[in-house]
Structure 1
Amino acid sequence: MEIQAFGYLGVGSSDLDDWAAFATSTVGMQPVDRASSMRAFRMDDRKQRLFIDRAIEPGTQVFGWEVANAAALDQLAARLEAAGVAVKREPANLADQRCVAGLISFADPAGNRLEAFHGAQIADAPFKPSRDISGFRTGPQGMGHTLLTVPDIDAALAFYKDLLGFRISDFIVAPLKAYFLHVNPRHHSVALVAAPVRSMHHLLVEYYLLDDVGQGFDLLQNAPEKIVSTIGRHSNDLMTSYYMRTPSEIYVECGWGGKDVDDATPPAEMASVASFWGHKGLFEDIGAPPSAAPEVGSRRAPVQVIEGNYNRMAGVCQWWDEARRNR
């Protein structure tokens, strides 16, 4: 299928200055000079990944999905139209505002505005984060992931999976219904969760080094009202992360060590969405009853690392080596 990555996110808001302070000093993105009615931010070599725009209806978002080239964009538009989805070929001035070569827009069954594009523009200068971080894990995996709540999850799943070509990484059907879908090796670029109302819950940004996550969480200690959850580790994508409030009604998940997936591995059904540990406050925030005691068990998994952000330790442990041999 044509879609390759989650390329950009647009947020409708008039709180431009608050968003600028949040995206830079808290998250570490680089601000971009744009029109007075919007703010834009870089995460890598792209001219922009996130933009906040007064012209977008407050409380709504724009989700930009990347394809390889103009031919792939035309093929996607034709398939959507053949399925009865209204597609708009956006003019060059909007494509320029999005910093892309070509652009179409359409809506998913829940009413979210989706845009598909090709030819993302590359900045002339290297990326310079606004706080001392190692950088964001983007590239072919896109800017991160988003979680959407939808009233009709079956319709949403059919749209993203059968029409757009997303693949299921894992899913859960009880006590809630949710699907985690990927378009590249990132465990999921979008998660769909059944709920009475349509909403965007959060955007994930993934750092290169675990210390970036811990130091970011330390920065929040001076503003505890912005903390949604403590640091924890998810059991499906294995992300170590925390969640924080933005100036809008959405959250940002700051994480490290997300799991890669491939299409040869069949989707797995999850028995629980509970984290291995931590994330205190997250599930209570979305309506789960508070637990008198944390769910602590035997669930664990190896840390997911990429070349360059770990050092192999020297030495041996006879007990551990023997335990591994006996497994």
Structure 2
Amino acid sequence: MLSSLAYLGFRSPNSDQWRTFAPDILGCMLGEDGEDGSVRVRIDDAEWRIQIHPGETDEVAYFGWAVSEEGMLPAFAERLRAAGLTVHTGDRGLAEKRSVDQLIWFEDPWAFRHEVVWGQVVEPSSFRPGRPVSGFVTGKQGLGHAVLLLPDVEAGHAFFTEVMGFRLSDKIARPDGTQSHFYHCNGRHHSLALAQVPGAVGLNHIMLQLHNIDDVGTALDLCRARGVPLRKELGRHTNDQMISFYLTTPSSFHLEYGFGALDVDDDWVPATYRRASTWGHKMTDDPAGRTPGILRRTEAVGA
């Protein structure tokens, strides 16, 4: 039922840093501030795709997942309730804040807030990049992807496939026994990925995909010139074949900035890989870029 990752929300004491970071480094456009002074980041004609709210600590506020038809929202709500989840219907005020027509929301077993929406507000032909870029891959593929950190990736697999309806794209099973799972809900190779971190829950990174490899190289040069911490050097992934690098945002989580990922279709056959990258993606030695993302400890094994 889910059709794309529509938007992401965060809270951060460094929200104002996004006013220069997003347009100058990433090539995004700034939208009008939210009513709480949040910074709204645009990557296409949607009114916003990423929203950074002022907050005392860096944390994930919500994930926004779109459905393609208005009538799917009640059916999805029933699906969630059947799984034992408490589902809330967003009022007109919340819908306005999220720039959508309708939404429902719930918390998953790891206390992440998910909002399922229909009717995202768009402003045709209004996107103007903050610096010269070819543009971002969005449309039916949505914002990009997000990678969650969970204490038990198999428990996450069961929830996100059986309850939320994601389809497995592939897995990376490393020689040290750690695994990452990748899931799609449209033609993008993955809109969601899960990685296992014992005793912890969090978000490692989000991804933005560009239309041109030169945009990626230019951003890498800008990061180096302006002292933006890098998490991983340029490289190419084994599974989706994206060429990308990873930088650390002002709000602790990382951002993968890439080009050239594979698309999937209904005939896609999942595979298992032993390593994440064909070449590159070397971890940097910069301590500022080596944080695991937004992370919180949990005593629960599977939740």
Note whether the superposition's TM-score is higher than 0.5: yes
Structure 1 pair 146–257 and aligned structure 2 pair: CA distance change class (3 A): same
Q: Which residue of 1 aligns with 2:67?
A: 67
* C-alpha distance 206-141 of structure 1, shift in aligned 2 (>3 A): same
Map of 1:24 onto structure 2 = 23
1:222: which partner in 2?
Answer: 225
User: 1:6: which partner in 2?
Assistant: 5
Match of 2:88 in 1: 88
1:25-61 CA distance string (max 9 Å, x none): 1111110112352110111111111111126974223
- Distance apart, 1:263 and its partner CA: 2.8
Report the AA paired with residue 141 of structure 1. Q
5 Å-filtered alignment, 1:1-327, equals 2-34=1-33, 35-54=35-54, 58-123=58-123, 126-174=126-174, 175-196=177-198, 197-273=200-276, 275-281=277-283, 285=290
- The amino acid across from 2:179 in the alignment is K
How far 1:156 sits from its partner (Å)? Answer: 1.3
User: Is the CA contact 1:11–1:56 (under 8 Å) kept in the aligned structure 2?
Assistant: no
2:263 corresponds to which letter in structure 1? D
Partner-residue secondary structure (3-state), 1:17: helix
* Matched letter for residue 226 of structure 1: P
- 2: CA distance, partners of 1:271 / 1:129: 37
Distance in 1 between residues matched to 2:6 and 2:101, nearest whole Å: 13
Measured after TM superposition, the shift of residue 286 of structure 1 is: 7.6
CA contact (8 A) 1:11 1:53 kept: yes
Distance (whole Å) between structure 2 residues aligned to residue 280 and residue 65 of structure 1: 32
What are structure 1's unaligned runs of at least 5 residues?
288-327
Structure 1 residue 210: Cα displacement: 0.5
Distance in 1 between residues matched to 2:56 and 2:44, nearest whole Å? 24
Partners of 2:101 and 2:56 in 1: how far apart?
21
How far apart are the structure 2 equivalents of 1:56 and 1:93?
A: 24
Mapped to 2, the partners of 1:225 and 1:47 lie a distance apart of 27
Q: Determine which structure has greater relative contact order: mean sequence separation of CA pairs < 8 Å that are 6+ residues apart, divided by chain length.
A: 2
CA distance in 2, matches of 1:125, 1:265: 33
Task: Give the secondary structure class of the aligned counterpart of 1:132.
Answer: coil
Range that drifts further, 177-186 or 60-69 = 60-69
User: TM-score w.r.t. structure 1 length?
Assistant: 0.83
Following TM superposition, by how much is the alpha carbon of 1:163 offset from its aligned partner in structure 2, in angstroms?
A: 1.2
- Measured on the aligned residues, the alpha-carbon RMSD in Å equals 1.9
**Percent identity over the alignment?**
36
What secondary structure, in the 3-state scheme, does the structure 2 residue paired with 1:218 have? Answer: helix
Question: Matched residues in 1 for 2:77 and 2:54: separation?
Answer: 28
Secondary structure of the residue aligned to 1:263 is coil
- The aligned length equals 285
Instruction: Tell me, in whole angstroms, the C-alpha distance in 2 between the residues paired with 1:55 and 1:103.
Output: 24
C-alpha distance in structure 1 between counterparts of 2:61 and 2:271, whole Å: 30
CA contact (8 A) 1:108 1:156 kept: no
| Distance apart, 1:266 and its partner CA | 2.1
Comparing 58-67 with 213-222, greater Cα deviation is found at 58-67
Q: TM-score, normalised by structure 2?
A: 0.89
Structure 2 gap segments, 5+ residues each: 293-303
Q: 1:286 to 1:259 in 2, by over 3 A?
A: farther
Offset at 1:282?
6.4
Is the radius of gyration larger for structure 1 or structure 2?
1
Distance (Å, rounded) in 1 between the aligned partners of 2:80 and 2:284: 36
Name the amino acid aligned to 1:276.
T
Determine if contact 1:109/1:155 at 8 Å carries over to the other structure: no
In 1, distance between residues paired with 2:159 and 2:192? Answer: 12
